[in-house]
Amino acid sequence: MRLLRPFPVRLALSAGLLLIVTNRSSLAAEATLPLPARPEAIAFPPLAFEPPSAAAFRHVLSEGTVVFLAPSHELPLINLSITFKGGRSLDPAGNPGLASLTARLVREGGTARKPAAEFDEELDFLATDVAVSATDTFTTATMNCLASTFDDSFRLFLDMLREPAFDADRLETTKARLLAQLAQRNDDATSIMGREWKRLAFGPDHFSAAEPTAASVEATSREQLQEMHRRIFHPGNMIVAVSGDFDEATMLAALERALAGWSRGPEAPAPAAPVAELKPGVYHVPKDIPQGKVLIGKRSITRDDPDDIPLTLLNEILGAGGFTSRLMQKIRSNEGLAYSARSVVTANVEYPGIFYAGFESKNATVALATKIVFDELRSLSDELVTEDELETAKKSLIETFPRQFESKPKTLGVFVNDEWTKRPADYWKTFRDKVAAVTREDLRRVARKHLDPAEMAILVVGDWEAIAAGDLDKRASMGEFFDGKVTHLPLRDPLTLEPLE
């Protein structure tokens, strides 16, 4: 047994005395500072933060791959991500979910040189975390490991990405899990709401609204996974980002060696824009629940629209600003109709995104809460927001702005997204100035242009008979909207998505 050497008593006493003297000196210095009479009188210096420039982190390998590097030696860890263009946007018409299933099996299905179980065990031994996932427009592979095990971890990571085995047993197990998940799609009204809203907004055939069925999952073959893998996973379709405890020149050399011999294919195409249009009106999906779930919205704008920042501020005032927003104050705080009320704006790059306001309320007060949302939308078009509302919204965007760059991995994530989507190089440098320049008149103009309630759809999931009549005080009923007309949508079979009788 190894004995610990005793800590010298004299040294301990000296350290303690030094600590006491230091603390007393600090307290004495603080005591000489003038203290304000009240907490709100405390003055803080202005926040000084300049966003980093992507050019300082950007490199291009000899074979053409763009790489962003951010060395950081606080912890002995390395985070590496590879973002591939294309995700669910590449799904074939008859097989929605194929890109997501491919991503999952790239990670779980082993490699050409290692069976799935052995591959997992080796990653565990190295204490390395690896994940692959697909969104609508991107597929991302990530690796987090100790700096000391980077070489071995990266070798396994690249084998997984370049030559996945798509193990047949793992594929069947994954299919079974997916089928079990599909069978539960109608259990939660939120799932029904999301499914039907996307179908209304983008059309059932657009990739963002299409969902797998039991038949499409069962028919998915290993060959289909391999074909999707060939389209997505190659250097001609990827950007690399690495942060953590490494030397920049050494990492660039390692990436050069790793990508050597990996053939470059064509870049994946941009996501297709939807051809369907969202038609204004009231839509209802039956579900026997005590509270109706409601979304009210329309197609929105593209990310690079000049109205993007004003619309973001307007949305902050309406429903994205938490308890300071109008919807939370009017629907929750003042009327007690819902636990939460919110609004959301999404702005896609290639085609307009979505604006929606949402809440859930007991059946009898769904109409009243809906009326309040409509009243607030009209108010934004008819009247100027208050100076306090605009100032609060601006501060929310400006003072939280540095959070987008609060860590090296997050910063590189911003740069990778901007690289793929070709965002102007000065966007982040000028963002806060553009926010500060927005006026109340700008917000009213944008509300009139983009938030007309007459152009919106109201989607209700719940018991229509209990919802339609409205509240007992007769303050509102669903008959007040769109001349009382309602389109009743069917509840769909969770496995086939065909209407249930």
User: From the DSSP assignment, how many helices (H) and strands (E) are in the chain?
Assistant: 17, 12
CA dist., res. 328 & res. 322, Å (int): 7
Do 111 and 163 form a contact (C-beta atoms < 8 A)?
A: yes
**What is the pLDDT at residue 164?**
98
Query: Can you give the pLDDT at residue 11?
Result: 36
Q: Which element (helix H / strand E) includes 354? A: strand 354-362
Using alpha carbons, list the distances in angstroms from residue 485 to 126, 236, 296, 377. 62, 51, 16, 21
For residue 426, how many other CB atoms are within 10 A of its CB?
A: 9
Q: What is the pLDDT of residue 200?
A: 97
- Determine the pLDDT at residue 47: 74
pLDDT of residue 33: 60
What is the CA 273 to chain-centroid distance, rounded?
Answer: 20
The domain covering 281-488 belongs, at the CATH homologous superfamily level, to Metalloenzyme, LuxS/M16 peptidase-like (3.30.830.10)
For residue 333, the 8-state DSSP code is I
Write out the residue limits of the CATH 3.30.830.10 domain(s) in the chain: 55-259, 281-488
Q: What was the pLDDT predicted at 501?
A: 74
Compute how many other C-beta atoms are within 10 angstroms of the C-beta atom of residue 250: 11
Q: pTM of this prediction?
A: 0.89
Domain 55-259 has CATH 3.30.830.10: yes
Q: What region, left, alpha or beta, does residue 334 occupy, with left being phi > 0 and alpha being psi -120 to 50 degrees?
A: alpha
Q: Round the CA-based radius of gyration of the chain to a whole number and report it.
A: 28
Strand partners, 373: none
Helix ranges, 187-327 (H): 189-202, 214-219, 222-232, 248-259, 308-315, 326-327
What pLDDT score was predicted for residue 40?
A: 82
Q: Which residues contact 237 (CB under 8 A, 6 or more apart)?
A: 84, 85, 86, 231, 265, 266, 267, 268
**pLDDT value at residue 5:** 36
Q: What is the pLDDT along the chain (501 residues), one digit of tens a residue?
A: 333 333 343 334 344 434 444 444 444 444 456 788 888 888 878 778 999 999 999 999 999 999 999 999 999 999 999 999 999 999 999 999 999 999 999 999 999 999 999 999 999 999 999 999 999 999 999 999 999 999 999 999 999 999 999 999 999 999 999 999 999 999 999 999 999 999 999 999 999 999 999 999 999 999 999 999 999 999 999 999 999 999 999 999 999 999 999 999 999 999 999 999 999 999 999 999 999 999 999 999 999 999 999 999 999 999 999 999 999 999 999 999 999 999 999 999 999 999 999 999 999 999 999 999 999 999 999 999 999 999 999 999 999 999 999 999 999 999 999 999 999 999 999 999 999 999 999 999 999 999 999 999 999 999 999 999 999 999 999 999 999 999 999 999 999 999 997
